[in-house]
Structure 1
Amino acid sequence: MSDPYGDSRPIGRRPLGAVPSRRGVLGAIGLGAAPGTSGGGRAFAQGADSCTGSGPRRRVERDDVPHARTWMSWPSRKSVWGRQLAGVQGDIALIAATIARFEPVIMCAPDDYSVRQARRMCGPAVTVTDEIATDDLWMRDIAPVFRRDGRGGRDAVGLNFNGWGKKQTHRYDAEAASCVAAWARLPFSRADFVGEGGSVETDGDGTVMATESSLVNKNRNRQMSRDEIEAEVLRVYGADTMIWVPGIKGKDITDDHIDVTSRFVRPGVVMVQLPPADREDVWARDAREQFAILSRATDARGRRIQVIRVDGPDTVRSRDPKFVDSYLNFHVVNGGVIAAQFGDHARDEAARRTLSAAYPGREVVQLDVDRLMSGGGGIHCSTMQEPLP
């Protein structure tokens, strides 16, 4: 995702000079939240919350449970992407068509022209709908998180997306969570905090992790303490233990989402991507700090967390300072793992082997999606899985 501050979040690269942001233009023309959405307090429109009461506990499960489908959003706005739009559309189409080899894909497009374009570029295996309008492509952050109760019951919870702290237009994106839930015919409620799907990682077994910089931030949760945010994240996700890492505020649009650097593989096991040894920028220090904290942490079951190290690429094809060279921003699908490659053959292959070992029995497909990664996000950021009942 692009950076309104002119800096970005490279994992395996030194930052280049500051450049104008594609998203800075949107803030300047005053495109913001839809009427009635929150900008950082706690006054959210509440629905019935199905994790309260006497019914079975609902839980957001980890990414590798069986999926009903993957949700995506078609990039359509030149006001957001400028001259990058065509290349980013090509990458999103490639991701969607690849995922469709493994499971159904629903692509949301905002108008008739975008629907026709998405259908042509994605191919017949991808279902494209104009029933859910969006501003941008980052479905991980605008979609609801889906929960299951272990008895076939499901619901969806919106995290009150506010444009990553009012940094980008989100008139339609702010309503996407409720619209997706309605399309899927699932009960919907809203959390009591502002966040994004990429800001919280869960093992589906009682443990979640996040950066303080993203959630404990006045641009999202001005009136809440860290303890209050933690309690609400645990309630929504059906978890018992929260692992915090500090993160970095104000250097990228997400304020350092954890899903670029650290990911749960299964209960008790995480992956962390580390930069080359000679890097000492803020992102390199952040990755090493996440590795150190998670290596000392225990989960909700009292297990010492096992940390799998993934080395970022030494070289990449892109020279864009917003480029995100993260192998860990992958998307797990039914029977597969969809990840990025960067043209560093040795590191690309090492990452592929690590993912194959972490997800045995799944095909690891590595894609060149450099145009998307130059926008500050990746494959995981552009997708959201909906679990089977």
Structure 2
Amino acid sequence: MSWRMPSETAPHARTWMAFPVEGPTLGDTDAEREEGYAAWTEVAAAIARFEPVTMVVDPSELARARRMLPGDVTVLEAPVDEFWMRDHGPTFMIDDERPGVLGAVDWIFNGWGAHDWARWERSAEHARIVAAEVGAELISSTLVAEGGGFHVDGEGTVLLTDTVQLDPRRNPYADRARVEAELARTLGTTTAIWLPRGLTRDYDDFGTNGHVDIVATFPSPGRVLLHTQRDAAHPDHAVSAALRELLATQTDAAGRRLEVVELPAPATLRDDEGFVDWSYVNHLVVGGGVIACGFGEDRADAEARAILADAYPGREIVTVDARPIFARGGGIHCITQQQPALPREVTS
């Protein structure tokens, strides 16, 4: 086998999502729940402009999903508890030696480290359900991992954080060498760039303990977009400065010294819960476009769109208000998972 995870910028067959269900993540009041349903629906509608979308929907939410979702979004009925498809769903692979074969990694998912508030038993089955639906070969892993915990450049390099992969609540017996070996087997990576941590808010009880997909990503091989907090009053000012210094010294699988492109945070520093982790890094690349996080700040949102347009030339940048998603613990990238197109599916 020669499994390889393509870059997110490679052609997609579709994007996968999971529709929200009632519970602690969605909210306690009718207004909070409606806000959550609407946010997931808005992201699905934005993606559907560019490529097919399939939404995994719990039987209890079928009527609502069919009423709210655009008609061109496909619904797959399956049990749902958590609805962050990036994390509990499959991570898709291609096989360079077998061009017509799709693979799907089934990581162990334990609710971001078995938090007592997390409900994961149903959604932990999504990798197998989705793999069967698309006819993908299942790649079983003994690593507790989530798709938001790593980013690849499609050419052998992976970004990840110590505090997620080596979290004793996830992988108590792992070390870097073991993690790298398993990612080499499943993702096809040969060079790991380890970041010491993620953003401050992500270490709260409802956080992921440092997912990299809110911190840094590869828009193209050799380049990294880095979340940058410019305000020294926010604790992530020091975090992003240290990460920038580290990344500037790193080389990728091809031996290139990384070019670090700063993607500044919005001006808002706090919400009712404390310092925010609002990040434009948590965008999704789709066919012909980029679905970008918006935070209701015209100047900052526009600056982010300009940086993303430069990073992804030829793609339309579409901003979706991500504040309701971040209020629930993540962003646009966290609730989506791309399925790469196989060679016969690529039409342009």
Q: TM-score, normalised by structure 1?
A: 0.82
**Mapping 1:78-227, distance limit 5 Å:** 78-81=23-26, 82-83=28-29, 84-111=32-59, 113-130=60-77, 132-150=78-96, 151-167=99-115, 168-227=118-177
Contact 1:74 1:92 in 2 (8 A): yes
The SS at the match of 1:291 is helix
SS in 2 for 1:220: coil
Matched, 1:65 2:30: no
Q: What SS is found at the alignment partner of 1:278?
A: coil
Residue number among 368, 373, 376 corresponding to 2:321 in the alignment: 368
1:324–1:374 Cα contact (<8 Å) kept: no
Distance 1:211 1:147 in 2: 21
Deviations 1:305-362 (A, max 9, x none): 1111111111379545375411110011111100111122221111100101111111
2:187 is matched with 237
Larger CA deviation: 330-339 vs 220-229: 220-229
Using the TM superposition, name which of 221-230 and 134-143 deviates more: 221-230
Q: 1:89 to 1:106 in 2, by over 3 A?
A: same
Q: Which residues of structure 1 form unaligned runs of 5+?
A: 1-50, 52-56
CA apart distance, 1:189: 2.0
1:381 aligned residue: 334
> RMSD over aligned Cα, in angstroms?
1.7
**Counterpart residue identity of residue 238, structure 2:** R
The 8 Å contact of residues 71 and 106 in structure 1, kept in 2 or not, is answered as yes
Please tell me the residue identity of whatever aligns with 2:129: C
- Which structure shows the bigger proportion of residues in strand conformation? 2
Identity value in percent: 37
Report the counterpart of residue 330 of structure 1 in structure 2: 283
> Contact 1:335–1:363 (CA<8 Å) still a contact in 2?
yes
2:228 is the alignment partner of 1:228: no
User: 1:64·1:333 contact (CA, 8 Å) conserved in 2?
Assistant: yes
Name the TM-score, length of structure 2 as normaliser: 0.91
In the alignment, the residues of structure 1 paired with residue 274 and residue 69 of structure 2 have an alpha-carbon distance, to the nearest angstrom, of 28
Question: Aligned pair count?
Answer: 331
SS at match of 1:338: strand
Displacement of 1:129 after TM fit? 2.0
Separation (CA, whole Å) in 2 of partners of 1:315 and 1:228: 39
Among candidates 329, 340, 344, match of residue 297 of structure 2: 344
| In 2, Cα distance between equivalents of 1:204 and 1:277 | 33
- For the residue of structure 2 that corresponds to 1:148, the secondary structure is strand
How far off is 1:215 after superposition? 0.6
1:268-347 alignment runs, 5 A limit: 268-281=222-235, 283-315=236-268, 319-321=272-274, 323-347=276-300
Q: Which amino acid aligns with 1:106?
A: T
List aligned pairs for 1:16-27, cutoff 5 A: none
Which residue is 1:10 aligned to? none
Change in CA separation of 1:317 and 1:278 when aligned onto 2, cut-off 3 Å: closer
Question: What letter corresponds to residue 258 of structure 1 in structure 2?
Answer: V
Quick check: 2:139–2:186 contact (8 Å CA) kept in 1? no
Give the Cα separation in 2 of the matches to 1:280 and 1:69: 37
Q: Distance in 1 between matches of 2:64 and 2:259?
A: 44
Whether contact under 8 Å (1:234, 1:242) holds in the other structure is no
Letter in 2 for 1:203: D
